Amino acid sequence: MLDIDVLLQRGSFRRHVRIAEDARVLALTGPSGAGKTSVLNAIAGLLRPASGRIVIDGRVLFDSAARVDVPTHRRRIGYVFQDARLFPHRDVRGNLLYGRHAVRGQAAAFGLDAVVDLLGIGQLLRRRPANLSGGEAQRVAIGRALLSQPAILLFDEPLSALDKARREELIPWLQRVRDEVRLPMVYVSHTEDDVRRIAEAVHVLA
Ligand SMILES: Nc1ncnc2c1ncn2[C@@H]1O[C@H](COP(=O)(O)OP(=O)(O)OP(=O)(O)O)[C@@H](O)[C@H]1O
């Protein structure tokens, strides 16, 4: 599912990362500064590896030897960050629709109503982000990512800005997304509990 062999370089940080995993839902863990976010950014096309290859689900996104570097907007990445990064001046519905994309020649896999149902955010559609709890905002951010019709979902510590109660509330929604949308997922975290409950396999960046 995920076949990555890259040299990542960012300032003085230089690391060879090799991940070959068949699991659909992979957690990426490791100490702070190990390069977890850098790997997600390389998958998303936001950080260009010095060399190597990135292949997801058989799709070559980057291959320095073959001079392949698919632009970010063609990679079909749904990216969910620590903080929801919603637009404060748009309501939830506006935030969801902002992320909506069509995929040329294909019916949309994720429609607004289905995503709203999946994430239980029907009651929130008219609210502004300032009036959402942290967990609700993350559910909206996941919905926005799904409406962009991604081929893979990337999560960068989506629980880390939440208190324990909110984390507990969000985990079942993440499990639901995992089980129902059946997309490849890369889930970055450094807490064991959510990794155990969400991922099928774990790769440790040392
Ligand atoms: N823009 C940049 N310029 C130079 N170095 C950078 C830049 N961004 C990140 N780095 C360095 O790259 C290394 C990897 O950072 P990265 O954010 O990928 O690690 P991480 O494992 O996600 O860490 P954390 O768990 O703290 O988020 C770190 O040493 C960081 O200081």
pLDDT tens profile 57-68:
999 999 999 999
Rounded Cα gap, residues 131 and 134, in angstroms: 10
> Which of 7, 9, 10, 160 to probe ligand 1 with, by most ligand atoms within 8 A of CB?
10
Each domain of the chain, given as residue ranges in start order, spans: 23-46+74-204
Q: Which atom of ligand 1 is nearest to the CA of 190?
A: 25
CB of residue 37 inside a 6 A radius of ligand 1 = yes
CA distances from 119 to 97, 130, 192, 206 (A): 15, 19, 24, 34
CB of residue 138 inside a 6 A radius of ligand 1 = no
Domain 23-46+74-204 sits in CATH 3.30.70.260: no
pLDDT tens profile 150-186:
999 999 999 999 999 999 999 999 999 999 999 999 9
Q: Determine how β-strand 2-10 pairs with β-strand 13-21.
A: antiparallel
CB of residue 106 inside a 6 A radius of ligand 1 = no
Rounded Cα gap, residues 10 and 17, in angstroms: 13
Q: Specify the pTM.
A: 0.94
- Give me 162's structure tokens: 């939440």
Full strand arrangement of the beta sheet holding 25-29: 77-80, 152-156, 185-188, 25-29, 201-204
